[in-house]
């Protein structure tokens, strides 16, 4: 009887944990774009197809339940990146840069208060609710859809 109660309690606990936690969150890391392509990240929809060759330090996170995702990466030639965005339907949006979600603000590369880096780069939108922030000096891009 005690064994059966323990098994039932274990099952109920597992269900309660599953209801409280977000088990549909998927996170990946790739040192280079070639690694992401080898993992079929573009084909699976985890990365956009327009990332330039030489993109590195790629990190993705997504919620399979809600469709929310975020990506951070470093582009090789930050000065040329806006033209890639514009060629893919993104337009610069004047005004205050939105705050990235907490799940990517803590990622590396992230703002380093000691070095005084800030991420007040250009803010872009395309036809979807997608935002890109580019830190021009470092080539860091944060890209997310809420």
Residue-wise pLDDT tens digits, 35-49: 999 999 999 888 999
pLDDT band at 32 (very low <50, low <70, confident <90, very high): very high
pLDDT at 109 over 60: no
Burial 59-87 (b: 16+ CB within 10 A, else e): bbbbeeeeeebbbbbbbeebeebbeebee
- The percentage of residues in the chain with a pLDDT greater than 90, rounded to a whole number, is 25
Average pLDDT over the chain reads: 75
What is the model's pLDDT at position 54? 96
Break the chain into its structural domains and give their ranges.
24-145
Count of Cβ atoms closer than 10 Å to residue 55 Cβ: 21
| Cis bond before residue 133 (omega within 30° of 0) | no
pLDDT per residue over 60-108, tens digit each? 988 888 888 889 899 999 888 989 988 988 888 877 677 777 777 667 6
């Amino acid at each position: 009887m005690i064994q059966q109660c323990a098994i039932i309690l274990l099952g109920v606990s597992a269900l309660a944990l599953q209801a409280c936690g977000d088990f549909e969150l998927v996170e990946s890391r790739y040192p280079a774009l070639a690694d992401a392509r080898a993992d079929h990240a573009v084909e699976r929809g985890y990365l956009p197809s327009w990332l330039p060759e030489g993109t590195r330090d790629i990190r993705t996170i997504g919620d399979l339940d809600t469709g929310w995702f975020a990506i951070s990466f470093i582009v090789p030639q930050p000065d040329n990146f806006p033209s890639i965005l514009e060629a893919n339907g993104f337009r610069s949006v004047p005004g205050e840069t939105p705050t990235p979600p907490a799940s990517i603000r803590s990622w590396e590369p992230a703002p380093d208060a000691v070095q005084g880096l800030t991420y007040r780069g250009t803010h872009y939108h395309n036809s979807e609710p997608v935002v890109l922030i580019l830190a021009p000096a470092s080539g860091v891009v944060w890209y997310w859809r809420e």
